[in-house]
């Protein structure tokens, strides 16, 4: 589906969708439990993939209006009756690969074309180190994957700079092994706040984890038991980044994003980045409400080591700013649904922006040019599509984004929300 956005202003109030990261974890944690209810989950293509995986491991998932009730497999996943298809979801793939290593038999895990090009090697090695067997069918460290368990727990050594999701996966599975898992990191941990999210979520399910000098550890023999049998998902700052950016470049009067209380999400950094760029932005942390006004932006340097998912948003903000916006420490952003560093460089250039791409940095030379609407590729990647939609708000004329239906991965009603705050969206 193509979506065409014309230069528009936005006004009014919107609610940020529920967090994708917390929803994935809460659903799988409920699978590891005896039973639990997840309130206000994100219902999207990616989180449904995690629900299907929980079912394949023997859980039952009951979706109602505002919640999902899960009868879990209580720490003992069954051997799936079929291949598990994770679609486009890297989080699902990594988290449930470690679950597979607990099952007494073989599990086959795959996904769409993008997913089958993403790196899984370090997690496969970790499962081998723990006494399981884990293989890539093409021997290239990518899905399809074949995993054989069960593992009992032990010490593993993995790199930290490819994906933090390996750590999350091992901590979640490690809690129900006999011996627990100690993870030694061979290199600096990128995307570190996502592990903090995991630790916070696990604590809410009564599971202890520790930070060690060289990594993380989780004692074995633990039971997943959420307080009062339920968990409520907070709002998503990665999704909110597009809405806040829309306000900064196109608010006409008051524009408010709700549902955003403080959280372990690293992507809360979008508030501070917008402030540094000169945005008039105000966060009522108690009410979870952020108001933002159209502002004159100036370029800044942003290190996305902890916040890879903000790169597309910051690149678009850089195009609206005067001076240079340098995005640094971004090599790991190349391992996402697409190579997002290359994708943003290429599509912003089509809109008339001067960009310098290096392996670990992206510089946007803002202010030298007026953005001209154009036809741009969405790379079947929800974040590229949403970020380019925001560029469409201030580009001259019309911006057409290809493959825009892929927003269903994390923010299914994104275009309805834009429409509702006054954006001229044509589908
Ligand atoms: O654990 C998570 O929920 C996520 C971790 C990050 O990935 P990496 O750890 O692979 O950088 C992030 O990019 C992804 O959108 C969600
Ligand atoms: C990279 C992302 O997710 P995942 O790794 O789950 O595919 C994302 O949502 O930007």
Query: What is the C-alpha separation between 412 and 353, in angstroms, rounded?
Result: 28
Q: Ligand 2: distance of its center to the CA of 178 in Å?
A: 31
Q: Ligand 1: distance of its center to the CA of 175 in Å?
A: 21
Q: Which ligand is nearest to the CA of 329?
A: 1
The tens digit of pLDDT for each residue in 13-39 reads: 999 999 999 999 999 999 999 999 999
Residue nearest to atom 7 of ligand 2 (CA): 90
35-67 residues labelled b (16+ CB within 10 A) or e (exposed): bbbbebbbbbbbbbbbbbbbbbbbbebeeeeeb
Task: Please check if 139 is assigned to a binding site.
Answer: no
* Residue of 46, 53, 340 to test ligand 2 pocket, by largest number of atoms within 8 Å of CB: 46
Token reading at 75: 């720490």
Query: What is the C-alpha separation between 417 and 182, in angstroms, rounded?
Result: 43
Q: Which ligand is nearest to the CA of 19?
A: 1
> Any idea which residue has 């129900």 for tokens?
176
Q: Ligand 2: distance of its center to the CA of 370 in Å?
A: 31
Q: What is the rounded average pLDDT of the residues 265-286?
A: 98
Task: Please check if 118 is assigned to a binding site.
Answer: yes
Nearest one of 103, 95, 38, 53 to 75, comparing CA atoms: 103
Residues 388-391: contacts with CB under 8 Å, at least 24 apart: 388/312, 388/316, 388/347, 389/3, 389/5, 389/242, 389/414, 389/415, 389/418, 390/242, 390/245, 390/246, 390/249, 390/313, 390/316, 391/316, 391/319, 391/348, 391/351
The tens digit of pLDDT for each residue in 304-351 reads: 999 999 999 999 999 999 999 999 999 999 999 999 999 999 999 999
What is the pTM assigned to this prediction? 0.98
Task: Please check if 165 is assigned to a binding site.
Answer: yes
The answer on pLDDT for 109 being more than 90 is yes
pLDDT at 184: 98
Query: What is the C-alpha separation between 353 and 391, in angstroms, rounded?
Result: 11
Q: Ligand 2: distance of its center to the CA of 367 in Å?
A: 31
Closest ligand 1 atom to residue 25 Cα is 3
Give bridge partners of residue 75 from the DSSP assignment. none
Q: Ligand 1: distance of its center to the CA of 164 in Å?
A: 6
Q: Ligand 1: distance of its center to the CA of 309 in Å?
A: 8
Token reading at 319: 């195009």
Q: What is the rounded average pLDDT of the residues 371-376?
A: 97
Q: Which residues line the pocket of ligand 1, CB cutoff 6 A?
A: 21, 91, 163-165, 168, 190-191, 194, 308-309, 332
| Mean pLDDT for the chain overall | 97
Domain residue spans of the chain: 3-17+235-426, 20-232
Looking at domain 20-232, does it have CATH number 3.65.10.10? yes
Split at pLDDT 50, 70, 90, the class of 253 is: confident
Residue nearest to atom 3 of ligand 2 (CA): 90
The answer on pLDDT for 370 being more than 90 is no
> Any idea which residue has 């971004």 for tokens?
330
Q: What is the rounded average pLDDT of the residues 273-295?
A: 97
Query: What is the C-alpha separation between 122 and 163, in angstroms, rounded?
Result: 9
Query: What is the C-alpha separation between 243 and 302, in angstroms, rounded?
Result: 19
Task: Please check if 350 is assigned to a binding site.
Answer: no
pLDDT at 254: 84
The tens digit of pLDDT for each residue in 180-237 reads: 999 999 999 999 999 999 999 999 999 999 999 999 999 999 999 999 999 999 999 9
Q: What is the rounded average pLDDT of the residues 405-412?
A: 98
Q: Ligand 1: distance of its center to the CA of 367 in Å?
A: 32
Split at pLDDT 50, 70, 90, the class of 65 is: confident
The reply to whether domains 3-17+235-426 and 20-232 share a CATH topology is: yes
357 contacts 341 by C-beta, under 8 angstroms: yes
Residue nearest to atom 10 of ligand 2 (CA): 309
pLDDT at 368: 60
Q: Which residues line the pocket of ligand 2, CB cutoff 6 A?
A: 46, 89-91, 309, 336-337, 383, 410
Task: Please check if 340 is assigned to a binding site.
Answer: yes
* Residue of 96, 191, 266, 267 to test ligand 1 pocket, by largest number of atoms within 8 Å of CB: 191
CA atoms within 13 A on the CB side of 50: 32
CA torsion angle for 63, 67, 72, 78 (degrees, to 10)? 40
CATH number of 3-17+235-426: 3.65.10.10
Token reading at 348: 């912003």
Nearest one of 55, 29, 25, 56 to 42, comparing CA atoms: 25
Task: Please check if 354 is assigned to a binding site.
Answer: no
* Residue of 185, 237, 309, 410 to test ligand 1 pocket, by largest number of atoms within 8 Å of CB: 309
Task: Please check if 190 is assigned to a binding site.
Answer: no
The answer on pLDDT for 367 being more than 80 is no
Residue nearest to atom 8 of ligand 1 (CA): 163
List the catalytic residues: 309
SS3 annotation, the chain? CCEEEECCCEEEEEECCECHHHHHHHHHHHHHCCEEEEECCCCCHHHHHHHHHHHHCCCEEEECCCEEEEECCCCCCCCCCCCEECCCCHHHHHHHHHHHCCCCCEEEEECCCCHHHCCCHHHHHHHHHCCCEEEECCCCCCCCEEEECCCCCEEEEECCCCCCHHHHHHHHHHCCCCCCEEEEECCCCCCCHHHHHHHHHHHHCCCCCEECCCEEEECCCCCCCCHHHEEECCECHHHHHHHHHHHHHHEEEEEEEECCCCCCCHHHHHHHHHHHHCCEEEEECCCCEEEEECCCCECCEEECCCCHHHHHHHHHHHHHCEEEEEEECCHHHHHCCCCHHHHHHHHHHHCCCEEEEECCEEEEEECCCCCECCEECCCCCHHHHHHHHHHHHHCECEEEECCHHHHHHCCCCHHHHHHHCCCEEEC
287 contacts 354 by C-beta, under 8 angstroms: no
Closest ligand 1 atom to residue 95 Cα is 1
């Amino acid at each position: 589906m193509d979506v065409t956005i014309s230069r528009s202003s936005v006004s009014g109030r919107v609610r940020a969708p529920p967090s994708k990261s917390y929803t994935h974890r809460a659903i799988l944690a409920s699978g590891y439990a005896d039973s639990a209810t997840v309130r206000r989950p994100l219902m999207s293509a990616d989180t449904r993939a995690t629900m299907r995986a929980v079912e394949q491991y023997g859980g039952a998932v009951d979706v109602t209006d505002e919640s999902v009730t899960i009868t879990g497999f209580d720490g003992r996943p069954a051997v799936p009756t079929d291949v598990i298809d994770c679609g486009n979801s890297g989080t699902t793939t990594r988290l449930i690969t470690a679950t597979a290593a607990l099952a007494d038999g073989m599990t086959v895990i795959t996904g769409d074309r993008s997913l089958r090009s993403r790196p899984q090697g370090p997690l496969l090695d970790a499962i081998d180190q723990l006494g399981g067997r884990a293989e890539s069918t093409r021997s290239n460290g990518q899905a399809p994957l074949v995993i054989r368990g069960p593992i009992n727990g032990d010490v593993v050594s993995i790199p930290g700079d490819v994906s933090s999701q390996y750590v999350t996966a091992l901590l979640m599975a490690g809690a129900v092994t006999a011996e627990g898992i100690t993870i030694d990191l061979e290199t600096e941990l990128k995307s570190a706040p996502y592990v903090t999210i995991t630790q916070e979520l696990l604590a809410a399910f009564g599971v202890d984890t520790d930070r060690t000098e060289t990594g993380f550890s989780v004692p074995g023999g633990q039971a997943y038991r959420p307080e009062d049998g339920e968990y409520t998902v907070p709002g998503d700052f990665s999704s909110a980044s597009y809405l806040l950016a829309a306000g900064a470049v196109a608010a006409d009067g008051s524009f408010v994003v709700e549902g955003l209380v403080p959280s372990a999400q690293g992507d809360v950094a979008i508030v501070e980045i917008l402030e540094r760029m000169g945005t008039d932005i105000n966060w009522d942390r108690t009410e979870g409400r952020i108001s933002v006004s159209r502002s004159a932006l100036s370029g800044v340097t942003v290190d996305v080591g902890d916040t890879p998912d903000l790169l597309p948003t910051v690149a678009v903000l850089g195009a609206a700013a005067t001076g240079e916006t340098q995005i640094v420490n971004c090599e790991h952003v190349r391992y996402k649904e697409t190579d997002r560093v290359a994708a943003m460089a290429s599509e912003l250039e089509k809109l008339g922006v001067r960009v310098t791409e290096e392996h670990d940095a992206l510089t946007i030379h803002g202010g030298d040019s007026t953005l001209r609407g154009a036809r741009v590729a969405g790379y079947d990647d929800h974040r590229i599509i949403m970020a380019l939609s925001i560029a469409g708000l201030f580009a001259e004329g019309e911006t057409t984004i290809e493959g825009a239906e892929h927003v269903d991965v994390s923010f299914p009603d994104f275009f309805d929300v834009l429409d509702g705050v006054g954006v001229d969206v044509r589908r």
